[in-house]
Amino acid sequence: MHSSSAGTSCSPSAGSTTCRPARSSPSSRLITVGPGAGQPRPVCRARLAAVNAVQYPRLVVTGAAGQLGRALIAAAPAAGAGEVLALGRADLDITDPAAAAALLRRGDVVINCAAYTAVDRAETEAAAAFAVNGTGPAVLATACAEIGADLIHVSTDYVFDGTGTAPYEPSDPTGPTSVYGRSKLAGEQAVLALAPAAVVVRTAWVYTGDQRDFVATMRRLEGERDTVTVVDDQIGSPTYAPDLAAGLLELAARLPGRAHPIPPILHATNGGSASWYELARAVFTELGADPGRVRPCTSDEYPSPVRRPAYSVLSPRAWSAAGLTPLRDWRAAVHAAVLAARPGARAGHDG
Ligand SMILES: NC(=O)c1ccc[n+]([C@@H]2O[C@H](COP(=O)([O-])OP(=O)(O)OC[C@H]3O[C@@H](n4cnc5c(N)ncnc54)[C@H](OP(=O)(O)O)[C@@H]3O)[C@@H](O)[C@H]2O)c1
């Protein structure tokens, strides 16, 4: 479920707050550090600590000002990335073919985090959603294929219809029920058609815990409300953005040369599954608060323009089979996120 920089829609009612996950407001623009040598446009170019710079290609992160993009930039040094080109929307609009071709170079590994992620708003802004989520990945895939760069494209559990009862495998039939899901599926299909060596990585329910995502909102509401009411009939895979970032960086390091084949579609989430209600209770527990203050409700009690998948747990089997490190269990990740978000916590603490 998509709840990152936008977080959770909440309707305060009589001392309690009813919540469901939602997406809305845009994240802030990445600070432009300055033009890189030979670059035709201003870019935020960070040369980060090179632990393993010889083997690691240049990493290019698009959508770098978003929730996942920021986590990737933060995690890159520890992963051994030698040079990182962090491209916010102002640096590279991924729907601009000329700009993409001008910024990328042979041997790059591009991780595309740019997306239109306002799930509800997409229902009335289909053209905008398809431009960023369908055309944008097609533009990047074309540029990567022509230039000789590797591409990791991040996608979503929303490509599934949510009627499943067992974790979705990458090869399971898709059937998005929302404009957002259809636009993301269009992006996946374009990427794999235009850049056959690209890897699509689907994830779900991403949070950092310190912005306006679901976990951050629960942290805030714990201090503001006696009770919060949260939907209990949507089951998914909560995913801590730094954990996902570490996984994507491990995958990125594997792509050049590819000693072992990597499947075209992988799923990467924290382990296990939860409802939004269970995730909220876990946050309260980690805060030392009474989880009984979180009350369950059904999706029907919280009208939405979008029918969200009732069940969208993503199977990690293909990820593990590819030799990639499984992401830890979602409860351990929530523990780390709440700890890291505490005032005074060092960045990355216990992450
Ligand atoms: N968040 C979740 O729960 C979740 C779940 C499953 C999958 N995903 C996927 O994970 C990826 C990262 O999501 P996120 O949570 O990091 O989303 P996010 O916080 O909304 O970040 C997306 C970024 O893309 C930028 N962007 C939008 N249009 C662009 C364009 N045309 N060119 C370049 N950049 C553009 C946005 O800039 P503006 O803010 O200026 O528009 C924003 O900084 C996406 O592919 C998303 O579909 C997310």
The residue extents of the domains of the chain are 32-206+239-272+305-329
Element (DSSP H or E) covering residue 192 = helix 179-194
Give the CATH fold of the 32-206+239-272+305-329 domain. Answer: Rossmann fold (3.40.50)
For residue 97, CA distances in Å to 94, 131, 312, 329 come to 7, 13, 33, 39
Ligand 1 neighbourhood includes 114 CB (under 6 angstroms): yes
Two tokens, residue 343: 């005032």
Give the integer Cα–Cα distance in Å for 18 and 228.
6
Q: Using a 6 Å cutoff on CB, does residue 229 contact ligand 1?
A: no
**CA distances for 15 relative to 110, 221, 229, 231, 280, angstroms:** 47, 11, 11, 18, 17
Contact of 111 with 248, CB cutoff 8 Å: yes
Q: Return the pLDDT at 173.
A: 98
Active site residue 180: yes
> Which pLDDT does position 139 carry in this prediction?
98
For residue 1, the ligand 1 atom closest to its alpha carbon is 3
Q: Out of 168, 180, 207, 311, which one is annotated catalytic?
A: 180
For a substitution probing ligand 1, which of 23, 32, 89 has the most ligand atoms within 8 Å of its CB? 89
Cβ contact 66:27 at 8 Å: yes
Sheet holding 294-297, edge to edge: 8-13, 16-21, 227-231, 294-297
Distance 89 CA to ligand 1 centre (A): 10
Q: Cα–Cα distances in Å, from 26 out to 4, 89, 116, 231, 274?
A: 10, 11, 9, 24, 27
Where on the phi/psi map is residue 257: left (φ > 0), alpha (ψ -120 to 50), or beta?
left
Residue 27 in contact with residue 59, Cβ under 8 Å? no
Q: Is 312 in the pocket of ligand 1 (CB under 6 A)?
A: no
Counting from 1 in the atom list of ligand 1, the atom nearest the Cα of 93 is 32
Long-range pairs, 181-184, Cβ under 8 A, ≥24: 181/156, 182/130, 183/116, 183/122, 183/126, 183/129, 183/130, 183/132, 183/133, 183/134, 184/115, 184/133, 184/155, 184/156, 184/158, 184/159
Ligand 1 centroid from CA 117, angstroms: 5
The alpha carbon of 290 and the centre of ligand 1 are apart by a number of angstroms equal to: 33
For the CA of 154, the nearest atom of ligand 1:
45
Q: Is ligand 1 within 6 A of the CB of residue 269?
A: no
Q: Tell whether ligand 1 has an atom less than 6 A from the beta carbon of residue 206.
A: yes
Distance from Cα 226 to the centre of ligand 1, integer Å:
33
> Tokens for 23?
């997406």
Atom number, ligand 1, closest to the C-alpha of residue 184: 47
Full pLDDT tens readout for the chain, 351 residues:
343 332 233 322 223 344 445 433 333 333 222 222 223 232 333 333 333 344 568 999 999 999 999 999 999 999 988 899 999 999 999 999 999 999 999 999 999 999 999 999 999 999 999 999 999 999 999 999 999 999 999 999 999 999 999 999 999 999 999 999 999 999 999 999 999 999 999 999 999 999 889 999 999 999 999 999 999 999 999 999 999 999 999 999 999 887 778 999 999 999 999 999 999 999 999 999 999 999 999 999 987 889 899 999 999 999 999 999 999 999 999 999 999 998 776 544 332
Whole-angstrom Cα distance, residue 53 to residue 34? 22
Cα 227 to ligand 1 centroid, rounded to whole Å: 31
Note whether 327 and 53 are within 8 A (CB): no
Residue matched to tokens 């740019």: 114
pLDDT score of 351:
28
Q: For ligand 1, say whether the CB of 199 is within 6 Å of any of its atoms.
A: no
Residue 106: strand, helix, or coil: coil
* Chain position carrying tokens 């600590």: 49
Q: What is the DSSP letter of 170?
A: T
